[in-house]
Copies of this chain bind each other. A is one copy, B any other.
Amino acid sequence: MNNYKLTIQYDGARYKGWQRLGNNDNTIQGKIENVLTELAGEKIEIIGSSRTDAGVHAYEQIANFKMKKNSTEEEVMQYLNRYLPNDISVVDVTLEHERFHARYNAKDKTYVYKIWNEQYPHPFMRKYSMHVEEKLDIEKMRQASQYFLGKHDFTSFSNAKSKKKSMVREIYSLEINENEGFIEIRIRGNGFLYNMVRKIVGTLIEVGLGEKDAATIPSIIESKERIQTGRMADAQGLYLEKVGF
């Protein structure tokens, strides 16, 4: 069995997220599996590093799959790019040792959230960022961001359904930068719960607008009550940027 690693870029706007739900649903995993099953002549399942939510984009999602057929890396890449819709792109394919696993071996994930913070809309990025017209106070957002660092139970910053699994995640870094009218929030951690990045970003926006005080964040985390958290940032501004191994 050959074990292939895929590096995938996608515009998530049209999809119900990464994870396949049924057999013919509109998910990124489903689209890729359908094409690979055609190539392989056998049912192929792929393992993704990160389950991006509906509407979320990826600059660099990693996935792997096993196949009996001996296709070269180049053949797999060409076949996928030929038959996938053009909002999903395979930018690299490599053969890995048989034990490589895109999810278990992933050590950290970096997401970036883009906010367009000008009065006027951005014609080219209007579907790829969140538009906040009122000027955000970045210094306040940076102060608030410090409270998320480290290991916490993030129940109050998630819409995860399961209560059996651990809600503890560790955030390694959270940086906020301005770049030509955009505010980019870059967050790296060992993993993220369902909707967690968008809820953290939404809270940082509330702080930046002066609607919420940064100092209240520790008690929101400690409460483990979802009702305490405020807005959730739009999916269209969020990108999976990198998976570390």
Contact = CB atoms under 8 A, between A and B. Distances in A.
A124 interface: yes
Interface in A120-173: 120-124, 126, 128, 131
Q: Which of A57, A91, A131 has the most CB atoms of chain B within a 10 A radius of its CB?
A: A91
B81 A124 contact: no
Contact of A123 (B9, B121, B126): B9
A10 interface: yes
B119 A78 contact: yes
Interface string A164-192: 00000000000000000000000000000
Interface of A: 9-11, 57, 77-78, 81, 86-91, 119-124, 126, 128, 131
> 4 closest Cβ contacts across the A-B interface?
A86-B121, A11-B123, A89-B120, A81-B120
Contacts of A87: 121, 123, 126
Given A11-B123, A57-B124, A87-B123, 14 more contacts: A9-B123, A10-B123, A11-B126, A77-B119, A81-B119, A81-B120, A81-B121, A86-B131, A87-B126, A88-B123, A89-B121, A89-B122, A89-B123, A90-B120
A90 B123 CA distance: 10
A72 to B, nearest CB: 14
Contacts of A78: 119
Nearest to A123: B11
Contacts of A89: 120-123
Nearest to A91: B120
